[in-house]
Structure 1
Amino acid sequence: MLTEWLKQKQTQVVLFSSTAIALYGYDQGMMSLINTNYHYLGTMGIKENDPMVGIIVSVYYLGCALGAVIASQFADKVGRKPGVLACVGMAALGNLIMFCAGKGLPQGALPVMLIGRIVMGLGVGGLDAVVPVYTSELSEDDARGTALAQEFQANILGLNMAFIINILVTHTLGKYSEWAWRIPIITMQIYPILLISGTALLPETPRWLVLHQQTDRAKRSIAAVFGEDQVDDRIKELQEAHEQEEKDGMVTYADMLIPGRDQWHPTVVTIMGQVNQALTGYGAVSVYGPQIFELLGFETTAAEFLTMGNYLFYLGMMTFAWILIDRKGRRWLMVTGAFWLAVSFAILCLLGGLAVHQSELQIPLLATGIPGIVVLYLATAVFGIGWLVPPWLIPTEIFPSSARANGAAISVVVWGFANFAVTLLTPIMFTNLGYWLFLVFAGSNTLSGCWTWLYCPESGNRTFEENQEFFKEAADAGTWSVRVVANGDYRRLPDEKVDQAGDGGDQDVAKKNGKDGEREPLLNRSN
């Protein structure tokens, strides 16, 4: 039975995409304890509180931003699958460069490490841009969120894998050991090996093939996944969608980035999704987890194990993300999540202040530490459920096919620059603000929630074409307010498309505005 399940194309796509996303998660967890390894710091010629620690971490995101643009263009021209494979190779190369930093040329360790981080970022940023598009084009309308959320659960699995390996080698070999930081780096090569091995099994998306007039290949791709009896109907739907896009014209970056152009509005929604995700502060928590717990008053070893527990809890709670995202919607999750994150960080600020002054106030550590653990764990769960997936998913749903990869690339570029700023500034804020850093995050989450509630439409359970209708109606109405456009219909999931059974099975779906759109999946979970 397991063998049959593994042979299904749907299973292979999900496993492949999940592994690619897990690679991105692995890097997030990889640097967390490497940053505190004394041999690593000595090899790089820096101290633990040196701003260069944050620069080494953050330049990776600049590589991600550039890699997303290059990979999206490559995937548009050559194919989604070759695009993913090229990105995997780049990430593997960057990882090897990082591993070799300080070997044979100790005085050049820091530049080599920086180059390795950038090169690895090129690959991972490309994966972040191409994989969500690949998955979205192979998922049904009422399951796109579920598919991507399941893959991002693998992202947290990768993060956990990296941190657990870090913990094991650090406490086995010690913080002065060279291999306590080199082993976690080179272990990442497991992911490229698995991805390259599995590439031959994957289909190219029929949507991309039709877009590039490769109809025969598209038919073979559909037949391999669904059977010969499905080919004609699916090809017809894809060709009709492609013909409509040709009438509308191909979308360029100028159309997306110049105010007033047709795709400017969805581009702003995409940009603000990633900016707001960065403002939640969880980029800092994932990279600097042990330091966060130290702010709450815990010693280094305890903080490291509490961080590991937080990541494991994060992994488990991500199950609720893929259960809820297609049932409650992207917008609801983000607004609700921002509210509870703001509350959580405000409480953490209070607890951090009490922890810092516990001796003079004669407050036991556990009186502030245990509530701090509970609140931070719950805040991590809220972020994973509400904010980890939607900013990546929405760009794949609101652009036409000819701009979807570009939209995903813009999303990754903004994510890269936003996280570059957050990871660069976080060590500085740790030093200068202490526990007041939590209050900064409470305020930034409040801003994120307000913007999302005002301007981010609900894109779940709608066809790609229906989501594009929102922006046309917004232009006609002369406003971006979700409460005003289309009488507020885009504030929530369309009732007629919600799968009440919760099983993603086939059902009669009402047509919106008399249009079919691209409603049939390219990969159907029920097949």
Structure 2
Amino acid sequence: MLAEWLKQKQTQVVLFSSTAIALYGYDQGMMSLINTNYHYLNTMGIEKNHPMVGIIVSVYYLGCALGAVIASQFADVVGRKPGVLACVAMAALGNLIMFFAGMGFPQAALPVMLVGRIVMGLGVGGLDAVVPVYTSELSEDDARGTALAQEFQANILGLNMAFIINILVTHTLGKYDEWAWRTPIIAMQIYPILLISGTALLPETPRWLVLQGKTDRAKRSIAKVFGKDQVDDRINELQEAHEQEEKDGMVTYGDMLIPGRTQWHPTVVTIMGQVNQALTGYGAVSVYGPQIFELLGFKTATAEFITMGNYLFYFGMMTFAWILIDSKGRRWLLVRGAFWLAVSFAILGLLGGLATHQASLHIPLLATGIPGVIVLYIATSVFGIGWLVPPWLIPTEIFPSSARANGAAISVVVWGFANFAVTLLTPIMFTHLSYWLFLVFAASNAFAGWWTWLYCPESGHRTFEENQEFYKEAAEAGTWSVRKVAHGDYRDLPNEKQAEEDDDGEQDGQAQAKKNGMNGEQEPLLGRNS
């Protein structure tokens, strides 16, 4: 049974894409303990609390932003599949540069590390832009969210692998050992090896092939992924969509980034999705996990093990993300996730304050530490279920085919700059705000939930073309408020909305029947006599 499952093309696509996304997660976990390794800090010529620690981490996100733009253009011209492979090669090169930083030329260690971080960012940013598009174009309309959520669970698996390797080598070799920080870096090469090995099994996406006029290849791709019986229907749908796009004209970055142009509205939804995800604060939690737990009063070594437990819990709870994202919808998860994150960070702010003043208040550490750990574990799972996947998924569902990779690229660019700011400022905020940092994140999550509720439409269980209709109707209605466009139909998944309308209609019919003195199954007397 397992062998048959592995032979399915959709399974192979998800496994391949999951491995690519796991590479991104690995980097997040990789730097968390490297930042506290004394040999690494001495090699770079910096102190533990120096702003350069944050710069080395955050400059990677600038590379991601640039890599997303380059990779999206490359994937549009050459193909989604070659685009993914080029990004994998770039990430592997950057990783090798990081590994060799300080070897032979210690005086050049810092600039070499910065170059390595940027080059690796180019590759990972490209993967973040192209992989969701690749997956989305090879998934069923009612399963796009599940596929991407499963891949992002692999992202957390990568984060866990990196952190566990970090923990093992750090506590085996010590924080003064060179190989305690070089080993986690070079271990990342397993991902490029796996990805390049599995490339031959994968198809190109039918949508891209139709866009390039390669109809015969598109038919073969459909047959491999969806079955031979679906070739005719799917190829006709893709050709009709392509003909409509040609009639409407090719979409440019100008159409997406200039206010008032045709794709400005979905671009703003894309941008705000990533801005709001950064405002949740979980870029900081992923990279600076141990320092977060130190704010709750734990010693460094204890905080590291608690962080590992948090990441493992995070990975397990991500199962609920791919269970819920298509059954409840993207918007449902985002709004509720932001609410509970705001509540969680508010509680953490209170507990952090008590932990900071525990000596003067005569409060034992466990009285604040244990509740703090529980709340942060819950908050981490809420983020994973509600906010990790939708901001990456939505841009792949709301743009025309000719702009889908560009939309994903804009998403990654915004993600890159937003996380650059968060990861750069977080060490500074640790120093100057201490536990007040939690309250900052409580407020930013409240804003993220409010904006999403007001302006983000539900894109699940709809075709790409149906999602584009929302923005056309919004332009005609002269409003972006989801509840005012298309009678509010895009506040919910279409099947849920229809079920509510059917229930309301049935209840109204029964009420009218009772009013006329008959039950819901009888015919009206006038109609029967006539």
How does the TM-score come out when normalised to structure 2?
A: 0.93
The question of whether the paired residues in 2 share the 8 Å contact of 1:142 and 1:497 is answered with: no
Residues 118-517 of structure 1: pairs in structure 2 closer than 5 A = 118-495=118-495
The question of whether the paired residues in 1 share the 8 Å contact of 2:339 and 2:449 is answered with: yes
The question of whether the paired residues in 1 share the 8 Å contact of 2:63 and 2:121 is answered with: yes
Match of 1:116 in 2: 116
- After superposition, the C-alpha distances for 1:481-503 in whole angstroms (9 at most, x for unaligned) are 0111111111111126999xxxx
Residues 84-95 of structure 1: pairs in structure 2 closer than 5 A = 84-95=84-95
Match of 1:59 in 2: 59
- Counterpart CA distance in 2 for 1:484 and 1:237 is 30
Kindly provide the amino acid, as one letter, of the partner of residue 156 in structure 1: I
Per-residue deviation at 1:247?
0.7
The question of whether the paired residues in 1 share the 8 Å contact of 2:166 and 2:180 is answered with: yes
- After superposition, the C-alpha distances for 1:228-267 in whole angstroms (9 at most, x for unaligned) are 4332222111111111111111000000000000100000
Select between 216-225 and 373-382 the one with higher mean Cα deviation: 216-225
Match of 2:83 in 1: 83
- Counterpart CA distance in 2 for 1:336 and 1:216 is 45
Distance 1:496 1:300, change over 3 A: closer
- Counterpart CA distance in 2 for 1:313 and 1:330 is 22
The question of whether the paired residues in 2 share the 8 Å contact of 1:142 and 1:498 is answered with: no
- Counterpart CA distance in 2 for 1:356 and 1:95 is 38
Match of 2:45 in 1: 45
Kindly provide the amino acid, as one letter, of the partner of residue 207 in structure 1: R
- Counterpart CA distance in 1 for 2:206 and 2:335 is 35
The question of whether the paired residues in 2 share the 8 Å contact of 1:62 and 1:420 is answered with: yes
Match of 1:524 in 2: none
The question of whether the paired residues in 1 share the 8 Å contact of 2:63 and 2:122 is answered with: yes
Kindly provide the amino acid, as one letter, of the partner of residue 420 in structure 1: F
Kindly provide the amino acid, as one letter, of the partner of residue 25 in structure 2: G
Distance 1:356 1:227, change over 3 A: closer
Select between 222-231 and 297-306 the one with higher mean Cα deviation: 222-231
- Counterpart CA distance in 2 for 1:135 and 1:227 is 17
Structure 2: tracts of 5 or more residues without a match: 500-530
Match of 1:520 in 2: none
- Counterpart CA distance in 2 for 1:322 and 1:395 is 18
- After superposition, the C-alpha distances for 1:182-212 in whole angstroms (9 at most, x for unaligned) are 0000000000000000011100001100010
The question of whether the paired residues in 1 share the 8 Å contact of 2:458 and 2:493 is answered with: yes
Kindly provide the amino acid, as one letter, of the partner of residue 419 in structure 2: N
- After superposition, the C-alpha distances for 1:26-67 in whole angstroms (9 at most, x for unaligned) are 000000000000000000000000000000000000000000
- Counterpart CA distance in 2 for 1:481 and 1:340 is 23
Q: Secondary structure at the match of 1:29?
A: helix
Per-residue deviation at 1:3?
2.0
The question of whether the paired residues in 2 share the 8 Å contact of 1:97 and 1:115 is answered with: yes
- Counterpart CA distance in 2 for 1:351 and 1:31 is 27
How does the TM-score come out when normalised to structure 1?
A: 0.94
- Counterpart CA distance in 1 for 2:233 and 2:490 is 29
Per-residue deviation at 1:4?
2.0
Match of 2:508 in 1: none
Q: Which has the larger Rg?
A: 2
Kindly provide the amino acid, as one letter, of the partner of residue 165 in structure 2: I
Match of 1:18 in 2: 18
Q: Secondary structure at the match of 1:476?
A: helix
Per-residue deviation at 1:216?
1.3
The question of whether the paired residues in 2 share the 8 Å contact of 1:133 and 1:408 is answered with: yes
The question of whether the paired residues in 2 share the 8 Å contact of 1:461 and 1:497 is answered with: no
Select between 167-176 and 227-236 the one with higher mean Cα deviation: 227-236
Distance 1:25 1:362, change over 3 A: same
What's the % identity of the aligned pairs? 89
Match of 1:73 in 2: 73
Per-residue deviation at 1:227?
4.2
Distance 1:246 1:5, change over 3 A: same
- Counterpart CA distance in 1 for 2:305 and 2:298 is 10
- Counterpart CA distance in 2 for 1:485 and 1:221 is 37
Q: Secondary structure at the match of 1:176?
A: coil
Match of 1:522 in 2: none
Q: Secondary structure at the match of 1:189?
A: helix
The question of whether the paired residues in 2 share the 8 Å contact of 1:297 and 1:356 is answered with: yes
| Aligned length, in residue pairs | 500
- After superposition, the C-alpha distances for 1:1-28 in whole angstroms (9 at most, x for unaligned) are 3222211111110100000000000000
Distance 1:328 1:122, change over 3 A: same
- Counterpart CA distance in 1 for 2:57 and 2:227 is 47
The question of whether the paired residues in 1 share the 8 Å contact of 2:10 and 2:139 is answered with: no
Structure 1: tracts of 5 or more residues without a match: 500-527
Structure 2 residue 104 is the aligned partner of structure 1 residue 104: yes
Match of 1:523 in 2: none
Kindly provide the amino acid, as one letter, of the partner of residue 11 in structure 2: T
The question of whether the paired residues in 1 share the 8 Å contact of 2:30 and 2:163 is answered with: yes
- Counterpart CA distance in 1 for 2:227 and 2:330 is 33
Kindly provide the amino acid, as one letter, of the partner of residue 491 in structure 2: R
- Counterpart CA distance in 2 for 1:496 and 1:314 is 29
The question of whether the paired residues in 2 share the 8 Å contact of 1:12 and 1:202 is answered with: yes
Q: Secondary structure at the match of 2:482?
A: coil
- After superposition, the C-alpha distances for 1:113-152 in whole angstroms (9 at most, x for unaligned) are 0000000000000000000000000111111111100000
Q: Secondary structure at the match of 1:309?
A: helix
- Counterpart CA distance in 1 for 2:288 and 2:227 is 49
Kindly provide the amino acid, as one letter, of the partner of residue 264 in structure 1: W
The question of whether the paired residues in 2 share the 8 Å contact of 1:271 and 1:411 is answered with: yes
Q: Secondary structure at the match of 2:322?
A: helix
- After superposition, the C-alpha distances for 1:412-462 in whole angstroms (9 at most, x for unaligned) are 000000000000000000000000000000010011111001100011111
Q: Secondary structure at the match of 2:272?
A: helix
Select between 323-332 and 119-128 the one with higher mean Cα deviation: 323-332
Distance 1:346 1:271, change over 3 A: same
